Amino acid sequence: MTLKLYELVGVEETRPFSPFCWRTRMALAHKRLDVTSIPWRFTEKAAISPYKSEKVPVLLDGDHAVADSWAIANYLEDAYPERPSLFGGAGGRAMARMLNWWGDIAVIGGVFPLIAADIHAHLRPEDQDYFRNSREPRFGKSLEQIAANRDVAVEGFRKALDPLRLTLRTQPFVGGEAPNYADYILFGGFQWARAISDFALLKPDDPVYAWRDKLLDAFDGLARKSPGYPV
Amino acid sequence: MTLKLYELVGVEETRPFSPFCWRTRMALAHKRLDVTSIPWRFTEKAAISPYKSEKVPVLLDGDHAVADSWAIANYLEDAYPERPSLFGGAGGRAMARMLNWWGDIAVIGGVFPLIAADIHAHLRPEDQDYFRNSREPRFGKSLEQIAANRDVAVEGFRKALDPLRLTLRTQPFVGGEAPNYADYILFGGFQWARAISDFALLKPDDPVYAWRDKLLDAFDGLARKSPGYPV
């Protein structure tokens, strides 16, 4: 039975861009599970309300629905234990919970101001209104004002990646010799930016850049083949 | 055979205070390994030079010496695999590498300016000179200037703990249901401060405060029984 995944898109149905959906996409590929994508847009709350969620990703596995990328990763690990592990054991699962929060704050939170206006540019008009009206109050600024300072703000974002950068000095992936869910957590934020923005988050000589490149190539280039900007 | 651990102390031989040594102390207790402490001071480089290190912790296990808290944790996990695991599997070991860097930056790096002057006050005169002359150039300020702003700086420190704080919403320890090395990594920084400073790093209603309390009580109160300030 093929799994189904509600994934965030904008004007183009074939350009999934949510950092959380990309975490799940990579996790499904890691588990060697086929999935059918169901494009979903910010204002299509009704489509996922039966699954008691207002956000994507929402995963459908037969009659079972799971919302939230962290819950989905745990569901996949438990429901498909014979397939490659996402966490590499109980310790990894517990520690990944903290890396997930770090990823939400340092990566997704750090990236958002840099690409906020670019996200808006990729949405349908009704979704643009939703996006602007829901995001601008959080910052007390317009999307354009949020992005205006990005040439300076990106320096702070890059600096905040030091724990990841330093880790990559002695091991190729956060998960160790091969990537696991810890990597997909963090990669999701970079793939989100890549899908929607031509702004260069990373310098080419940054070890994080090389790590991102390897994840773009993983699973037969799953992430690289998805529409994005080559930065 | 009893292990031996070179541990940083100041004026008082019975007040070990290094955050890195405390990581190792807790790891040894987790592994149920007895250890004899060898007090060591900043300027006693000659005592550990045979072990090719200028810093502590240095662990002696018979003829084998291991320097650096991260290397020691990995050594203990490999040398004593039948004892309680520090990492909970290969995934945990890999992810702990990143949490170790996060701990170095957000916890130890965040705490240092808050307690710099208090560390100095606990050292012997010759170690005071070493400490001042090695630390002040890194900041371009005197120890007293570094600490002067701490009532404001502590707010930034507390905010930076959000990934830890949010993790503790859904699990009692970073390592899961019970503490493991991921917890000791972060706890070491708090125990360092507790040993040497009466400055309140955390508010009592902070989930991080409750987590620290549980680790102070772990292993029959190993950390709480060590000299410190009740904050």
Backbone φ and ψ for B4, nearest 5 degrees, come out as -125, 140
Residue whose token pair is 């397939």: A83
Could you tell me the two tokens for A140? 């007390």
Q: Are the C-beta atoms of A69 and A23 separated by less than 8 Å?
A: yes
Nearest chain A alpha carbon to B170:
A97
Question: Which class is domain A90-218?
Answer: mainly alpha
Contact A92 B97 (CB under 8 A): no
Contact B182 A91 (CB under 8 A): yes
Among A98, A100, A105, the strongest candidate for a mutation testing the B interface, having the largest count of B CBs within 10 A, is A98
Tell me the domain boundaries of chain A: 3-79, 90-218
Domain A3-79 CATH superfamily: Glutaredoxin (3.40.30.10)
Nearest chain B alpha carbon to A177:
B94
Please classify residue A62 by burial: count the beta carbons closer than 10 Å to its beta carbon, then call 0-12 exposed, 13-18 middle and 19+ buried.
exposed
Query: In this structure, what is the dihedral angle of CA atoms B184, B185, B187, B188, given to the nearest 10 degrees?
Result: 100
Pairs of residues, one from chain A and one from chain B, whose beta carbons lie less than 8 Å apart:
114
Residues in chain A closer than 8 A to B94 (CB atoms): 88, 92, 171, 173-176, 180, 182
Which residue type is seen at A202? L
Long-range contacts of B105-110 (CB under 8 A, 24+ apart): B105/A162, B105/A163, B106/A163, B106/B160, B106/B161, B106/B163, B107/B19, B107/B161, B107/B186, B107/B188, B107/B189, B107/B190, B108/B19, B108/B188, B108/B189, B108/B192, B110/B156, B110/B157, B110/B160, B110/B161, B110/B189
Residue whose token pair is 């080559």: A230
- Distance from the Cα of B71 to chain A's closest Cα (Å) equals 12
Contact A94 B92 (CB under 8 A): yes
pLDDT, one tens digit for every residue, chain A (231 residues): 689 999 999 999 999 999 999 999 999 999 999 999 999 999 999 999 999 999 999 999 999 999 999 999 999 999 999 999 999 999 999 999 999 999 999 999 999 999 999 999 999 999 999 999 999 999 999 999 999 999 999 999 999 999 999 999 999 999 999 999 999 999 999 999 999 999 999 999 999 999 999 999 999 999 999 999 987
The pTM (predicted TM-score) of the whole model is: 0.98
- Determine whether domain B90-219 maps to CATH 1.20.1050.10: yes
